[in-house]
Amino acid sequence: MSFLSIDHLTKTFPLLDENARRGDTFVVFRNVNFEIRRGEFLTMIGHSGCGKSTLLNIIAGFDRPSEGGVILEGTEVTKPGLDRMVVFQSFALMPWLTAFDNVRLAVRQAHRDWSKERIREWTQKYINMMNLHGAEKKHPTFLSGGMRQRVGLARAFAVEPKVLLLDEPFAQIDALTRLGIQEELVRMWGETRNTVFMVTHDVDEAILLSDRIALMTNGPDAELAEIVEVSIPRPRTRSTLIDSPDYIRIRNHILHFLVRGAKKAHHTGGVEVTSEQTGASSEPAISLEVAQTQT
């Protein structure tokens, strides 16, 4: 039995344009099927509109699939819970609480039987791990984007969830700050070995952080094209990554996929791209371990 199973998910939304009849729907993604191993960092990349954030919301329990289901350790996910903490693109920190209290609120909810002192110590530990020391008493409004997302990450990690869901966590953070916080996330993940599912647009970020990268074709009616194994040894830092030949190969492969996927989508309506057409076989210069998921 796998740890987290995304089992043949399809999501449709009712069609709302003016010519639509009642009951008309459009498919965001179809038949997405993959598994995440315990302790694995899996990232999903795709163009806007491929439904990757919707997929993350379904795993979180905020949204329900139209077909298929999400199974975590043998139990189907139906509603949000502390075992699947989300780090939001918009940070979603409570502006009336200090950085410390934002984290403490989560710890308190996760451990209702703990003493005040123990909750405080636990919170402080994660505040320190995220290099937030000195900013504890500040309210989110007075923190930079990078610092805010550090609080968001500390809040999520402090709960020690079974799965950590990162929804484009660094999209609203400037490029230079992003580099620092990404490396901190790598270190944090190395210490805690949480299972992580991340959604992003950023190919470099995905390669730096992930064990495997799932590529989605363009939406609507998107499908999972392939899952790329990132065969670069850990610990990784941005400086060691740049010199790694694997890094360049993987990066080129993903960029080729994204660029070609966009072209195909433009000419055919975006439903014809399959894993065979976009896989490594069509690009002989690249030799990758590619896990074909569409069996």
Partner 1 sequence: MSWNRRKLAERFGPYILSLVILGVFILVWESLTRPPKFDPTGKSEDDLTVLEFNGDIVRNEATGKYVYNPKKVLGIPGPGKVWEKAAEELGEAFVKKGANDHGIGLLVYYTIKRFLAGFLVGSVVAVFLGVLIGLSKPLFIALNPFIQVLKPISPLAWMPLLLYSVKDPVWTAIFVVFMASLWPTVANTAFGVNSIRKDYLHVATLLEMTYLRRLFLVILPAAAPAIIAGLRISFGSALVAVVPAEMLLGELGAGYLTWIEWNNLNISGVIFAILVVGVVGYILDYGFGKLASKFTYAEV
Report in angstroms how near the CB of residue 92 gets to partner 1 at its nearest: 4
Interface stretch with partner 1, choices 15-23, 42-50, 94-102, 225-233 (CB under 8 A): 94-102
Report in angstroms how near the CB of residue 126 gets to partner 1 at its nearest: 15
Contact 86, 161 (CB under 8 A): no
- 271 makes contact with partner 1 (CB under 8 A): no
- 96 makes contact with partner 1 (CB under 8 A): yes
- 92 makes contact with partner 1 (CB under 8 A): yes
> Which residues, 104 to 123, sit near partner 1 by CB under 8 A?
105-106, 109-110
- 94 makes contact with partner 1 (CB under 8 A): yes
Sole binder of partner 1 in the list 15, 82, 255, 291 (CB under 8 A): 82
Interface stretch with partner 1, choices 116-124, 140-148, 186-194, 251-259 (CB under 8 A): 140-148
Report in angstroms how near the CB of residue 82 gets to partner 1 at its nearest: 5
Report in angstroms how near the CB of residue 198 gets to partner 1 at its nearest: 17
109 vs 128, which CB is nearer to partner 1? 109
Question: Would you list the DSSP string of the chain?
Answer: --SEEEEEEEEEEE--STTPPTT-EEEEEEEEEEEE-TT-EEEEE--TTSSHHHHHHHHHTSS--SEEEEEETTEE--S--TTEEEE-TT----TTS-HHHHHHHHHHHH-TTS-HHHHHHHHHHHHHHTT-TT-TTS-GGGS-HHHHHHHHHHHHHHT--SEEEEESTTTTS-HHHHHHHHHHHHHHHHHH--EEEEEES-HHHHHHH-SEEEEEPPSSSB-EEEEEE--PPSS--HHHHHT-HHHHHHHHHHHHHHHHHHHHHHHH-S----HHHHSGGG-TT----EE----
57 vs 278, which CB is nearer to partner 1? 57
143 vs 230, which CB is nearer to partner 1? 143
- 50 makes contact with partner 1 (CB under 8 A): no
Number of residues engaging partner 1 in binding (CB under 8 A): 27
Q: Could you tell me the two tokens for 128?
A: 């320190």
Contact positions toward partner 1, by CB under 8 A?
Answer: 60, 62, 79-82, 84-86, 88, 90-97, 105-106, 109-110, 139-142, 148
